[in-house]
């Protein structure tokens, strides 16, 4: 969790640069101009293949890697990711690659940093026919948030953007938590969004993502886990709100909503 301090330092450094936020192949990126009509198709496609990339209990057969050590590795990867100013989804893909490797082969603790940096390099090169287009929780969060924000204007829309900034920060930090990594990406993203709008005291119209199926009991379980994680961060970092401000404009200018 000490990577929060790195985020704050990075935010201050970036404020003096010409380009104040990295561009990412996501909804607000100029690279996606003209593809808005396909966003719903992309969402359903990634929702349908999510099961293929979900990794659970990847440390079960790792004699040298514990959840705590994995958390330290992800913290270190997050710091490198910030220093290189890569887009946020790259970090989520890189962590997924690490978990997939840990799931299929035993890894010495001495080689974890090598695994981490290799995963970042692979995640940064999505155009070389590797099977790396993972439906990440970050992708689902951006989709959910864009759908809700697009239905609001003025003060409400601004408050929802603040909630999205907080959700982006919490979701990124959740990568370090082994227990939260066991939750399906779409469900984790949905509950992070709900916790964020609840904290911002701004209704999202009882938004329910299309195609996302779950029982009320499972929703309550995941929501509680995310809520506990969020409250722990708030207790550890009283200035969490100011740090989250960076994530409000993470992708630069908004796509115009019709």
Q: What is the pLDDT of residue 195?
A: 97
Output the CA angle 20-25-31, nearest 5 degrees: 85
Dump pLDDT digits (tens) for 153-184: 899 999 999 999 999 999 999 999 999 999 99
Rounded to whole angstroms, the Cα distance separating 148 from 207 reads 7
Is pLDDT at 248 greater than 80 in this prediction?
yes
Two tokens, residue 194: 């709900």
Q: What is the pLDDT of residue 137?
A: 95
Dump pLDDT digits (tens) for 99-150: 999 999 999 999 999 999 999 999 887 674 566 678 899 999 999 999 999 9
CA-based torsion, 71, 73, 77, 82: positive or negative: positive
Is pLDDT at 14 greater than 70 in this prediction?
no
Q: What is the 3-state secondary structure (H, E, C) of 160-181?
A: HHHHHHHHHHHHHHHCCCCCHH
Q: What is the pLDDT of residue 89?
A: 87
Please tell me the number of Cα atoms within 13 Å of 173 on its side-chain side.
Answer: 27
Quick check: 172 and 137 in contact, CB under 8 A? no
Q: At 2, is the pLDDT very low, low, confident or very high (cuts 50, 70, 90)?
A: very low
The structure's pTM equals 0.74
Quick check: 174 and 220 in contact, CB under 8 A? no
Cβ contacts of 61 within 8 Å, gap of 6 or more: 106
Mean pLDDT, residues 234-258? 71
Q: What is the pLDDT of residue 8?
A: 40
């Amino acid at each position: 969790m000490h990577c929060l301090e790195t985020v704050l330092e990075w935010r201050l450094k970036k404020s003096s640069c010409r380009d104040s936020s990295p561009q990412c192949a996501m909804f607000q990126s100029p690279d996606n101009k003209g593809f808005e009509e396909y966003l719903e198709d992309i969402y359903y496609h990634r929702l349908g293949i999510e099961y293929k990339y979900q990794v659970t209990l990847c440390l079960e057969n790792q004699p040298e890697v514990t959840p705590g050590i994995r958390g330290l590795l992800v913290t270190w990867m997050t710091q490198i990711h910030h220093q290189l100013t890569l887009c946020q989804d790259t970090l989520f893909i890189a962590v997924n690659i690490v978990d997939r490797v840990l799931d299929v082969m035993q890894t010495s603790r001495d080689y974890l940093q090598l695994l981490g940096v290799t995963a970042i390099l692979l995640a940064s090169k999505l155009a070389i026919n590797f099977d790396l287009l993972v439906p990440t929780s970050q992708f689902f969060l951006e989709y959910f948030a864009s759908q809700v924000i697009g239905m609001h204007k003025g003060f409400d829309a601004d408050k929802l953007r603040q909630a999205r900034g907080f959700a982006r920060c919490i979701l990124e930090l959740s990568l370090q938590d082994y227990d939260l990594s066991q939750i399906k990406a779409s469900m984790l993203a949905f509950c992070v969004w709900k916790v964020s709008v609840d904290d911002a005291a701004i209704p999202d119209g009882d938004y329910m993502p299309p195609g996302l199926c779950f029982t009320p009991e499972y929703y309550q379980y995941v929501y509680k886990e995310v809520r506990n994680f969020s409250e722990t961060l708030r207790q550890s970092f009283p200035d969490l709100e100011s740090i989250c401000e960076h994530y409000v404009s993470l992708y630069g200018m908004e796509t115009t909503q019709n």
